Structure 1
């Protein structure tokens, strides 16, 4: 392998989709084709038997300094907005599920437990998903942080920035935080969501 493929044989961001159902097709797409990025961003589009289109991504984190010289944004908040727009535009005419580290989430100032009090991360971008008609039932089903200050791998306030959301003719059975044992496997805890195609 040559170039950046030498470092990652799958795709720049290191995304992967696993499925118990047959993966009929899968392809990787860059959010900014032809651009050189310090941190490559893109998504996998997979067609899953009996489920339909599944999108897997890792949206830009909101760092305080912006260092993507080959893009015309002034912040990672703006870059993340452009990434969201790509997904919402590309899949506007089809039912789809998006699962990702979204790096965006609402602020929750009061809650019944400390792990549901959330600092918020680019909440205006989280609102773009709600305004786009995406179903995000995690807060009513569970609501505990997925990026938590009690995780020894995290030096940051509680946030929910990881989701499995959908738009279209699906039914959500449940969603919950998972992979949150000690010691932690990652700086993020996982989300498990049961979704059925209608």
Structure 2
């Protein structure tokens, strides 16, 4: 009697199919089971992110602040002394952009002002290189202007020094520069 032998590739293929079927059955059973007293996988609490993960997450932008009432009409910059905040307002009275600022020690008078002069770069009274300088008022001989520090700093006014610079972040300085030509309205509120 002649016994026919299966080629080795057939054995390997058959064993591979059986092994895959066993692994699939075991995986399905494992997915359906849970250890005694444990919650199902979907309802397990997720661990809190590590401090390293939290630092790399970009900060959420704060919601846009509403344009203050009684702050003029039309296209304008609104500056709140108390909130230390600026709004770039379009003709429809909607804030196109709003951001916090670091005021100097000398404040402008409340009410309407006009941008009188613009300078692409200068040196602030504190010795810091500044850019996007937009002048709109004076008080006691001190010029008052929006600007941003070239190095990104937001210094506190030096004690005993009168400064009229209202510092903003670099991207906000770019936005003011593009928004306010000479003659633009700046409305100062409480």
TM-score normalised by length of structure 2? 0.24
Q: Work out which structure has the larger RCO, using CA pairs closer than 8 Å and 6 or more positions apart in sequence.
A: 2
The structure whose Rg is larger is 2
* Structure (1/2) with the larger helix percentage: 2
TM-score normalised by length of structure 1? 0.23
